[in-house]
A and B are shown apart, each in its own frame.
Chain A
Amino acid sequence: MNISSHRRTRDRVVTVLTYAAMVFVLLLPFALFVGLAVKSDLLFREHSLGDLLFSSVWRPSSGEFGFKPFIVGSVYVTLLAMLISCPICLLSAIHITQYAPTRVAKVVTTAIDILAGIPSVVYGVWGMVGVVPFVGKIAGWCGIQSNGYSILAGGIVLSIMVVPFILNILMEIYRTIPRELTEVSLSLGATRWETIRDVLNRKALPGILAAFGFGFARAFGETMAVLMVVGNVVKIPEGLFDPGYPLPALIANSFGELGSIPEIESALMFAALILLVVVLIFNATLRWLIIKAERY
């Protein structure tokens, strides 16, 4: 080796620093999990996991922590959002990648980029100004008493926020399908639509499901915008116009007021832990499925 010693030492130092950065980053997910788990340990001394997850009594002052209303609230709001945004994303992804002329596709992708950039709080402000009164009005027409702060409002705002996320994955999936599939199908006499329906969609199906799953995980942890429009009442919502109280909103709302009492702090950390575990399980399973699907 004909390297000057100066270059060699510099190479060594830089290499060590580079590896250190890598190790630091790779430890982050474990640190997140361990940090939150240690903090929520206090809660487990007096309550069992089943109690915490399936009891619906939430009285922090008398030491009763049932997370069921929050978990159910989260699931409802997220499912609503997915119900609204999944079909729209799928249709639009097919439109952009298969039918739309370049200029139209560019307009839509720019719109998606802008939607992706808008901060959560701004969505929240818009939700309070635009969506909440609208939902209140609809409730009025249906003859239900509601001020508009409801899981429906949360679901609508959330559905718009996850559109760019899901749509980008979907477009990527349709773009990576080999062109030959389309060509062969068309040359065999299938129409454009039959090609999409019977060939492309079938090929893309695992990817589509994965995109919806990622969207769900993403929406599940969204905090500020949902917090601002969902009403935040500790109760299991029974209808679309009922207020709910999702997990992230619980964490964001009560940190400041209750952070000083150790047991409540521990309960909030446990809430964060539930969120983290749900998101990690979703992401890990879907990644694993994608890797499996790619192999065959």
Chain B
Amino acid sequence: MMEEKKLSDIRAMVKSHERPARTGRKLGEEVFFRSLMNIASVLIVGVMGIILLSIFYKGVSTFSWSMLLEDMGSGFYLNRGGGIKNAIIGSLYLSLSATLLALLVGLACALCMNVYLVRHRRILNAARFLLDLIWGVPSIIYGAFGFSLMVFFGIKTSLLAGIITVTLFILPIMIRAIDEVMKTVPAGLSESVLSMGSTRSELSYKVYLRQCFPGIVTAVLLAFGRAIGDAASVLYVTGESARTPTSLMDNVTTLPVAIYNQINSPHAATQDKAYASAFILTLVILAISLLSRYISKRYQKYRIY
């Protein structure tokens, strides 16, 4: 008991020393900037709240379950009824397959950097430099590139073209996220595994994969969130369709593009559906973000080291 009191006394003393000198200008300056900082943080949280509230408010009042169950049908943007089932399914197809493809390539790339190239500092730095460069490339450029790629290979606008474009777009995001996690794997782990006689590929796909599993899941969900929310990259490679896609060569309308088209419609009822669709998309994104927090916490315990 005695001890504890002493400790709190000391804390109080330290705290009082940390306080600013209580003389005119010095104090005034600190108080001024501290209140500015508080305002800045409150502003950020407040704006987040306002955005979510207004999307939810507008969305809940215009939402109906039938929207989830009906295809658009012809004349959707001309206020002839219909839902957004095909857009939701199309978006899911598109982003799930793009995420899977990007995971296959991205995982290999991140492993290559962290397991195979780890001793070649120069090559590794150059590779990370290039990756950082494309990490910042905006999605509309992938859209334009995907379009010219499509023309080059003679593919028509389709789900397939969309998948390829979105894969390229989320690849740098995925690799960077996985790479960040793999960098933290202690060198001792790989040294001991190698010294036990395992090959580098076994080290990669048996040890690294398991050790970094939570991080990889987070990276996948991050990339998936980007893929499902992005409109600019798929605007002109997937074409438009009012029906649920049944094959890779079908045209497909994605949810973000549907929202964009709906809100630009002259009919108020169709614009209302845009609010509801934006609400659905936001819910999906929030769910993904929650899920990724939960999973990365839950699987932390299965790591090796």
Interface residues of A (CB under 8 A from B): 2-3, 7-8, 10-11, 14-15, 17-22, 24-26, 28-29, 31-32, 35-36, 38-39, 87-89, 91-92, 94-96, 99-100, 104, 107-108, 111-115, 117-126, 128-130, 160, 163, 167, 186, 191-194, 214, 217-218, 220-224, 228, 248, 251-252, 255-256, 259, 268-269, 272, 275-276, 279-280, 282-284, 287
CB distance B44 to A35 under 8 Å? no
Stretch from B64-72, B209-217, B228-236, B294-302 contacting the other chain: B228-236
Are the C-beta atoms of A111 and B44 separated by less than 8 Å?
Answer: yes
* A114 adjacent to B286 (CB under 8 Å): yes
Tell me, in angstroms, the Cα distance from A283 to B137 when the chains sit together.
Answer: 9
Q: Offer 10 A-B interface pairs, CB within 8 angstroms, sorted by A.
A: A11-B199, A31-B145, A36-B144, A38-B148, A114-B48, A118-B51, A121-B231, A248-B232, A255-B147, A283-B132
Interface contacts (Cβ under 8 Å), in number, total: 267
Evaluate contact between A108 and B45: CB separation under 8 angstroms. yes
B92 to chain A, nearest CB (A): 15
Give B152's nearest chain A residue, CB to CB. Answer: A35
Whether the pair A99, B37 counts as a contact (CB closer than 8 A) is: yes
CA distance A236 to B203 in the complex (A): 58
With beta carbons under 8 angstroms apart, the residue of A26, A108, A130, A275 that contacts B44 is A108
Q: Give Cα A33–Cα B29 distance, bound, in whole angstroms.
A: 50
* B156 contacts chain A at the CB level, 8 A cutoff: no
Q: Give the docked Cα–Cα distance between A221 and B112 (Å).
A: 30
| Any A CB within 8 A of the CB of B24 | no
**Which B residues have a C-beta under 8 Å from some C-beta of A?**
18, 20-21, 26, 29-30, 33-34, 36-41, 43-45, 47-52, 54-55, 58, 104-106, 108-109, 111-113, 116-117, 127, 129-145, 147-149, 152, 168, 171-172, 175, 197, 199-202, 204-205, 225, 228-232, 235-236, 256, 259-260, 263, 274-275, 278, 281-282, 285-286, 288-289
B116 touches A111 (CB 8 A): no
A31 to B148, CA, bound (A): 11
Nearest residue (CB) in A for B38 is A95
A120 touches B140 (CB 8 A): no
* Residues of A contacting B: mostly: helix
- Whether A121 touches B136, Cβ cut-off 8 Å, given contacts A28-B171, A92-B44, A114-B48, is no
Do B141 and A15 have beta carbons less than 8 Å apart?
no
A124: chain B residues at CB < 8 Å are: 260, 263
B263 to A, closest residue via Cβ: A125
**Residue contact A22 to B113, C-beta cutoff 8 Å:** yes
B285 pairs with A119, CB closer than 8 A: yes
CB within 8 Å for A279 and B148 given contacts A119-B229, A120-B230: no
Beta-carbon nearest neighbor of A249 in chain B: B140
Q: How far, in angstroms, from A20 to B20 measured CA to CA in the complex?
A: 59
Whether the Cβ atoms of A218 and B282 lie closer than 8 Å is no
Knowing A3-B199, A121-B256 are in contact, say whether A279-B45 is a contact too (CB < 8 A): no
Output the least CB separation between B248 and chain A (Å). Answer: 21
By the criterion CB–CB under 8 Å, are B116 and A279 in contact?
no
A111–B45 contact, CB under 8 A?
Answer: yes
A126 to chain B: which residues have CB within 8 Å? 51, 54-55, 278
In the complex, which residue of chain A has the Cβ closest to the Cβ of B288?
A: A117
Complex interface: chain A residues within 8 A of B48 (CB): 111-112, 114-115
Q: Contact check, B275 vs A2: say whether CB atoms are below 8 A apart.
A: no
Q: How far is it, in angstroms, between the C-alpha of A219 and the C-alpha of B139 when the chains are bound?
A: 12
Q: How far is the CB of B279 from chain A (nearest CB, A)?
A: 9
**Complex Cα gap A114–B287 (Å):** 11
Query: In the bound complex, do residue A100 and residue B41 qualify as a contact, i.e. CB atoms below 8 Å apart?
Result: yes
9 cross-chain pairs, A with B, having the tightest CB-CB distances, nearest first: A221-B138, A119-B229, A21-B108, A95-B37, A193-B30, A272-B144, A91-B40, A14-B201, A223-B232
